Amino acid sequence: MSNGIVYLVGAGPGDPSLITVRGVDCLKKADVVVYDYLANEQLLNHAPESAERIYAGKIGGRHNQGQDEINNVLVEKGKAGKVVVRLKGGDPFVFGRGGEECEALRDAGVPFEVVPGVTAAVGAAAYAGIPLTHRDITASVAFVTGQEGKDKNESTVDWDRLSLGGGTVVFYMGVTTLRRNMQRMLEHGRPADTPVALIRWATTPCQQILTGTLADIADRAEESGFKPPAITIVGEVVALREKLQWFDKRTLCGKKIIVTRAAEQAGEFSGKLSARGATVLECPTISLVEPESWQLLDLAIRDLHNYNWLILTSGNAVRFFFQRLESLGLDARALAQCRICAVGPKTADEVRTFGIKPDLVPTDFKAEGVVEEFSRLDMHNSRVLYPRADKARDLIPSELKRLGAHVDSPVAYRNIFPERLPPETLFALEKRSVDCITFTSSSTVQNLAAMLGDELMFDLLKGVIVASIGPITSKSCRDLGLKVDIEPAAYTLDALTEALEAHFK
């Protein structure tokens, strides 16, 4: 069998969005991914589901696999004709032992490519608000292994130049040897009041920073129980953090929030929360699928020219309706004789993507608000098409009929349970590490209760802030015994995000 290829990909310092475009491209075509402890596991989502995933992490010196074993795996998979991604925290060639792995691959005749990554020193310093160089302070920076000399009789680090040079010094993985390294710098002439920063879990919402000086940072670390993995930055530039810090000032920094929207919808909301510093756990409690039969909707679509109104109450309704319209060989021109009501600004935006300007956008996004808007119109003998979810409330069609309209409400999509909840979400709830759970429809909370059982759900959510997008969803929460802590005035994701910020501020 012909050789495959091994890509040594730098995964970056922790934030999964810091991986390079080239790195993502490599993951997308991987047959095998061999990943480290410090490589964010979210990056594995870029790989095909069929890709083999092999954990080769090293935690605090406890090796899941020795380096020789890792080399052998890369060679074996490469020789088997596989596309292998060796996903390494930070950059493969900066204290990543990437050079050793490349040597093993070259000796075995396996092609390889190195994809650089954002190394921990650069990422951690940036997210901590510490410039490694500064025109007015220092023009040099040195990267040093914090474990150097551990198994050697003599250190090979030039401590004189490192200490007296005046530049920024970054120690990698040096928490366990912190006191010894700081003492060596003091002994070789670095001033005792030189600022020092320890940065743990850099660039992630769990980032922790401890500052001090060469003289006291080791004592501070012991007193606070500061643990690895972390890097140490030594130099006058550390003092700029007080002025330049930005990452840990974000409104939701350090908060772990569950998003229960459908998988295909979660990204928008998750992005809003992540941008504000939250750790987001996507936990879809809804899976949106086609109706069991298209018959009723198809009949209505073929008769669109006889309808006066089309009511679309969500982006989902818009997407499923227009997908079916297209599948029947039609497009927006079929709606030429029909006015459109889009419930909510997001739904209206979805409608506009099809080149249609909605005729009515109720200011109140609840079903009651829709009915109130139509009550101002003469609906007698009007024909209304209301494509809906299978579990939608019956309020709109029943009230419009009372106003004299003829309403057809075929099912455009179904709301079903996913097969299971993500294990990482359940684990976080069991550990009591979740700060908040968000519900954006009644179905999200009702489905969660159905999947877990009311009693278990209630137990897992003890002490967890419950955020609801609006009064209907809040009522569903309360009906299940949950206390709603957050409910925005407007029933939109933007408003819910702002309400979360205000609550945690």
Taking only the tens place, the pLDDT of each residue in 255-270 is 999 999 887 777 889 9
Question: What average pLDDT does range 229-243 have in this prediction?
Answer: 95
User: How would you classify the pairing of strands 230-234 and 208-213?
Assistant: unpaired
Q: Which CATH number applies to 256-286+418-504?
A: 3.40.50.10090
Neighbours of 276 (CB within 10 A): 19
Which residues, other chains included, contact 180 with Cβ-Cβ below 8 Å and sequence gap of 6+? none
> Which pLDDT value is given to residue 367?
86
Own/partner pairs, 238-246, CB within 8 angstroms, 24+ separation:
238/130, 238/195, 238/196, 238/197, 238/211, 239/195, 240/129, 240/130, 240/131, 240/134, 240/137, 241/128, 241/129, 241/130, 241/197, 241/209, 241/211, 243/129, 244/129, 244/130, 244/131, 245/128, 245/129, 246/129
Burial class (CB in 10 A: 0-12, 13-18, 19+), 369: middle
| Residue 484 pLDDT exceeds 70 | yes
Q: How confident is the model at residue 424 (pLDDT cuts 50, 70, 90)?
A: confident
Q: How confident is the model at residue 397 (pLDDT cuts 50, 70, 90)?
A: very high
Q: Are 285 and 443 in contact (CB under 8 A)?
A: yes
Q: How confident is the model at residue 60 (pLDDT cuts 50, 70, 90)?
A: very low
Taking every pair of Cα atoms in the chain, the longest distance, rounded to a whole number of angstroms, is 94
Q: Are 265 and 259 in contact (CB under 8 A)?
A: no
Q: How confident is the model at residue 477 (pLDDT cuts 50, 70, 90)?
A: very high
The one catalytic residue among 36, 77, 88, 182: 36
> Which pLDDT value is given to residue 151?
55
Catalytic site includes residue 255: no
> Which pLDDT value is given to residue 196?
98
Q: Are 13 and 119 in contact (CB under 8 A)?
A: yes
CA R_g for the chain: 29
> Which pLDDT value is given to residue 153?
62
> Percentage of residues in the chain with pLDDT exceeding 90?
73
| Residue 149 pLDDT exceeds 90 | no
| Residue 295 pLDDT exceeds 50 | yes
Q: How confident is the model at residue 148 (pLDDT cuts 50, 70, 90)?
A: low
Tens of pLDDT, residues 316-356: 999 999 999 999 999 999 999 999 999 988 899 999 999 99
Angle between helices 345-352 and 315-327 (to 10 degrees): 20
| Residue 59 pLDDT exceeds 80 | no
Tens of pLDDT, residues 21-31: 999 999 999 99
From CA 37, how far away is CA 354, in angstroms rounded? 46
Domain boundaries, the chain: 5-118, 122-247, 256-286+418-504, 292-414
Question: What average pLDDT does range 193-222 have in this prediction?
Answer: 94
Domain pair 256-286+418-504 / 292-414, same fold: yes
Compute the mean pLDDT over every residue in the chain, rounded to the nearest whole number: 91
Angle between helices 367-375 and 395-402 (to 10 degrees): 20
> Percentage of residues in the chain with pLDDT exceeding 70?
96
Tell me the pTM: 0.69
| Residue 66 pLDDT exceeds 60 | yes
From CA 234, how far away is CA 214, in angstroms rounded? 8
From CA 481, how far away is CA 303, in angstroms rounded? 45
Residue 162 identity: L
The one catalytic residue among 77, 88, 91, 173: 173
Q: Which fold has domain 292-414?
A: Rossmann fold (3.40.50)
From CA 102, how far away is CA 115, in angstroms rounded? 12
Tens of pLDDT, residues 91-120: 999 998 999 999 999 999 999 999 999 999
User: What sign does the dihedral 424-430-436-437 (CA atoms) show?
Assistant: positive
Q: Are 67 and 102 in contact (CB under 8 A)?
A: no
122-247 homologous superfamily: Tetrapyrrole methylase, C-terminal domain (3.30.950.10)
Backbone dihedral angles phi then psi of residue 359, each to the nearest 5 degrees: -85, -25
The one catalytic residue among 58, 79, 391, 475: 58
Question: What average pLDDT does range 163-176 have in this prediction?
Answer: 91
Catalytic site includes residue 58: yes
From CA 53, how far away is CA 172, in angstroms rounded? 27
For the 5-118 domain, the top CATH level (class) is: alpha beta
Burial class (CB in 10 A: 0-12, 13-18, 19+), 498: middle
> Which pLDDT value is given to residue 225?
95
Comparing CA positions, the residue from 269, 274, 272 lying closest to residue 255 is 274
Neighbours of 490 (CB within 10 A): 17
Question: What average pLDDT does range 170-191 have in this prediction?
Answer: 94
> Which pLDDT value is given to residue 119?
96
Q: Where are the alpha helices (DSSP H) in 245-282?
A: 263-275
Q: Are 309 and 371 in contact (CB under 8 A)?
A: no
